Amino acid sequence: MAIQTERKLTKRSIAAIIDFGIFMVFSFAYAATFGEHTEDGYTVQGIKGLVIPILWFAYFPITEGLTGKTLGKLLIGLTVVTEHGGRISFTQALKRHILDMIDMGIVGLVAIANTPKHQRLGDLWAKTLVIGGDSFRCRSCYQEASLSNEEIIKGEFECPICHAVSKTQIM
């Protein structure tokens, strides 16, 4: 039996909201502390203005490059892996996030919903997948269970009830 991985639109969206929420809180706090107050809010200029892009760089590409996860993905149970199931490199993590401004919102949702492996544009460019939290229903005993990342990457799982072995594939 082959399993189709879920699009995970809700899970990925919640993880993104958590991650960008964290980034925005730190960015606004930094701007309020070190920026100048204007009628439209706060502005940070010059060398001080570089801290916010550096924060983005430190949070997204570095955490994913080191662990395959951001805090949002960790809390939701998602992991970024290579298309072959391996650990992603820093370069791949950076590529995923260079396209964030295009990929966040409707463009990313449309890409995830319409690509065979449920990838957004950054994932396609970086050759990465977001996995985790997949479930299956055993064809032998009809028990529903969740797949671990290792089972998804390995490409097979054993039903915890009837012990039937089935193949998985990321589609």
pLDDT classification of 2: cutoffs 50, 70, 90: very low
Instruction: With respect to residue 1, please indicate whether it lies within any of the assigned structural domains.
Output: no
Instruction: With respect to residue 2, please indicate whether it lies within any of the assigned structural domains.
Output: no
Give pLDDT, residue 4: 41
Instruction: With respect to residue 20, please indicate whether it lies within any of the assigned structural domains.
Output: yes
Q: Nearest 10 degrees: CA dihedral of 112, 147, 133, 8?
A: 20
Give pLDDT, residue 18: 96
Give pLDDT, residue 5: 46
Instruction: With respect to residue 82, please indicate whether it lies within any of the assigned structural domains.
Output: yes
Domain with 145 in it: 9-167
Instruction: With respect to residue 14, please indicate whether it lies within any of the assigned structural domains.
Output: yes
Give pLDDT, residue 169: 56
Instruction: With respect to residue 3, please indicate whether it lies within any of the assigned structural domains.
Output: no
pTM for this prediction: 0.77
Tens of pLDDT, residues 55-106: 898 899 999 999 999 999 999 989 999 988 889 999 999 999 999 889 888 8
- Cα separation, 49 vs 72, in Å, equals 25
Instruction: With respect to residue 64, please indicate whether it lies within any of the assigned structural domains.
Output: yes
Domain count along the chain:
1
Instruction: With respect to residue 4, please indicate whether it lies within any of the assigned structural domains.
Output: no
Give pLDDT, residue 157: 77
Give pLDDT, residue 85: 82
Query: How large is the average pLDDT for residues 122-129?
Result: 95
Tens of pLDDT, residues 115-125: 888 899 999 99
